[in-house]
Chains A and B, each alone.
Chain A
Amino acid sequence: MQHKFKKLAPIVEWGTLLLTTGLVCFFLCVILYDIFTKGYQVLSWEFVSQMPTDGMTQGGILTPIIGTVFLTLITAIFSIPFGICCAIYLNEYAENTWLTRTIRASIRNLSGVPSIIYGLFGLALFVQALNFGTSILSAGLTLGLLSLPYIITTTEEALLRIPRSMREAALAVGATKFESIKDVVLPASLPGILTGIVLTLSRAAGETAPILFTGAAFYITNSSGNLNQEFMALPYHLYMLSTQHQSIEEVRPIAYGTALVLIIVVFLMNLTAFYIRYKFRNNEK
C-alpha cells in the first residue's frame, strides 16, 4: 500500500503544480481572447488616427492615445531623474544608519500604497495647493510620484549588482567617487535601470485611479497640448465607455477596441524592456 503511494505521490505533486499553473494561464488566455475577438472588429487605421466624434459613439481614439503618450512623457521626465539620483544617493553615498534604513523601508512601503491614495494626494498637492488645476501636468506629476518608489527600488537593485571590484578599479586609476559612479557603475547597471524604468512606465500608463481627479477628462474634442489643460487617456476612456456613457451598448465595440490598444501599448513597452535586457546580456559575453 505504502509502496503504491510512493509511486503515486510524484504524479500527484506534479499534477497539482501543473493544474494551478494551467488554471492561471487559462484565465489569462480567456481574458486576452475575449478582448481580442471583440476588439478586433473595430481595430483599423482610422480607429487609432481619428478623434472621437458624435459623443464618442463614432470615430476613433486618437485623443486618448495622444493624452496617454504625453502623460507618460511627463511622468518619465519627472520620475526618472529624481528616482535615479535618489537611488544613487541611497546605495552609494548614504551610510547604513537607522535613518537610511527608515527611508529605504518607507520607499518600499510606498510602492504598496493603493494608487487611488496617490490620486487623492495629487488632488490635494498639485491641483489645489500648487494650483496647477486639473491638468495633464497635475496628473503626470501624480503618476510620477506613483512611479518613484518602483524606479528607486529597481535602480538600487541594479546598482547593487555591480561588484565592489568594479568601483575599486575606477578609484585605483584616480577617479573620484562621483566619477567612478558616473563613468563605470551607472553604464554597467544601465540595462537593469532601463528595464525597471520601462516596466514602471508601462504600469503608470495603464493606471486610472491617480488621474481620475487630477486631470483626465470625460470628453474633449480638441487637444491643444498645453500643460494646464485636461486630457483624455486610454485607461480612463475605457473605464468611462464601459460604465459612464449614456449609451453603453452602442459604444461597447469601441470600449473593446480601446482595451485592445491599451494592452498592445503596454505589451510593446514590456517587449522593449525585454529587448534591452536581451541586447545587453549578449553584449556582455
Chain B
Amino acid sequence: MKSKLVAEHLNLWFGSKQVLKNINIEFEENKVTALIGPSGCGKSTLLRSLNRMHDLYPEARIEGHIKLDGREIYQKDVEVTDLRKRVGMVFQKANPFPKSIYENITYGLKINNLVADKATVQKALEEAYIWEEVKDDLKKPATRLSGGQQQRLCIARAVALRPEVILMDEPCSALDPVSTLKIEELIHHLKKKYTIVIVTHNMQQAQRVADKTVFMYLGEIIEQGDTHQIFNNPQHETTRNYISGHFG
C-alpha cells in the first residue's frame, strides 16, 4: 500500500506547552484512518497540522517533517493555498459560507481558477449525497439548510476541488444519528477516490468507518494499526482501558 501522507518526528508546541510529541505516522492512500483518544490528546492538533491550519496562529511552533507524496509541506517554496487545495478539510461544526448553496461550491473553484460551471457544482453535490435535496434551491442561503445538510454541503465544497486527501475533524459530533449515518455512508463512498483522515470521539464510529485506527494519549501515539486489531486485540494497557471506556 502506498503512503499518501507521512509525518516523521513531528513535535508541536503552543507557546511553551508541547502538544504533539514525536509523532510518526503514515496515512495510506484510499484508506480511512481514524484518530481516537481522550479530549486534549492532540488528535485535532495533529489533523490541523496536515494542511498547515496552524500557520494562522503565531504561538504554534512545529518541528519535524510532514510529507505529501514524498514532498515536505512545510518547506518555504510550498504555496500553502495550493497545499490546502490538495488537502481539503471538513470541520467539527458545519461552517458553510453565508452565501447561496451554489456559491458555497463555486467559491473555492473560482479562487483556484478552476471551472465553476453548473455541471461541476452538480457533480460535487452528487458526490456528497445532497444533490437530490437541494437541486431546486441552489440560490437559497446555505445557512437555511439543516445541520446535517450543511455538513454534507461542506463535504461537497471540499470535494469540488478534487483534493487528494480529506481531513475531517469530528464531522458528526454536532449531528443527529440519521445525519451521522448519512455522513458515514458518504465516507465509505469517498474513500474510493480520496485518502481520508477522521478525528472522532465516537469509538463505534471509528469501527464503522475506519480501515486504520490511531490511538493518541497526552500528545503521543500510543498504538496504531488495523481498526479490527486495535479494538479487538489492543497491545497496550492504555489503549485497552480507553476503548473499554475506563477513561476518556
Interface membership of B21, Cβ < 8 A: no
Task: Scan residues 237-285 of chain A and give those whose CB is less than 8 A from a CB of chain B.
Answer: 283-285
B141 touches A172 (CB 8 A): no
Residues of B within 8 A of A168 (CB): 53, 56, 89, 91, 95
| A-contacting 9-mer, from B67-75, B78-86, B204-212, B237-245 | B78-86
Q: Give the most central of B89, B99, B111, B154: most A CB within 10 Å.
A: B111
Interface membership of A179, Cβ < 8 A: yes
Task: Scan residues 153-183 of chain A and give those whose CB is less than 8 A from a CB of chain B.
Answer: 163, 165-176, 179, 183
Decide yes or no: A173 and B108 within 8 Å by CB, A95-B58, A168-B53, A284-B141 being known contacts.
Answer: yes
Whole-angstrom distance between the Cβ of B89 and the nearest chain A Cβ = 4
CA A277 to CA B104, docked complex, whole Å: 23
CA A166 to CA B154, docked complex, whole Å: 12
B82 touches A174 (CB 8 A): yes
A169 touches B96 (CB 8 A): yes
Interface membership of A188, Cβ < 8 A: yes
CA A216 to CA B58, docked complex, whole Å: 50
Q: How large is the interface on B (under 10, 10 to 19, 20 to 34, 35 or more residues)?
A: 20 to 34
From B51, B82, B85, B154, A169 is in contact (CB under 8 Å) with B154
From A167, A172, A179, A187, B88 is in contact (CB under 8 Å) with A172
Interface membership of A184, Cβ < 8 A: yes
B98 touches A188 (CB 8 A): yes
Whole-angstrom distance between the Cβ of B90 and the nearest chain A Cβ = 8
Decide yes or no: A173 and B95 within 8 Å by CB, A183-B107, A283-B141, A284-B143 being known contacts.
Answer: no
A174 touches B81 (CB 8 A): yes
Nearest B residue to A284, CB-CB: B143
Residues of B within 8 A of A167 (CB): 56
Residues of B within 8 A of A285 (CB): 143-144
Residues of B within 8 A of A176 (CB): 81
Whole-angstrom distance between the Cβ of A205 and the nearest chain B Cβ = 31
Interface membership of B214, Cβ < 8 A: no
Residues of B within 8 A of A163 (CB): 95
Interface membership of B13, Cβ < 8 A: no
Which 7 pairs show the lowest CB-CB distances between chains A and B? A173-B108, A174-B85, A172-B89, A165-B95, A169-B95, A174-B81, A188-B98
Known A170-B97, A187-B98; 8 more pairs at CB < 8 Å: A168-B89, A169-B95, A171-B84, A174-B81, A174-B85, A174-B112, A175-B81, A184-B97
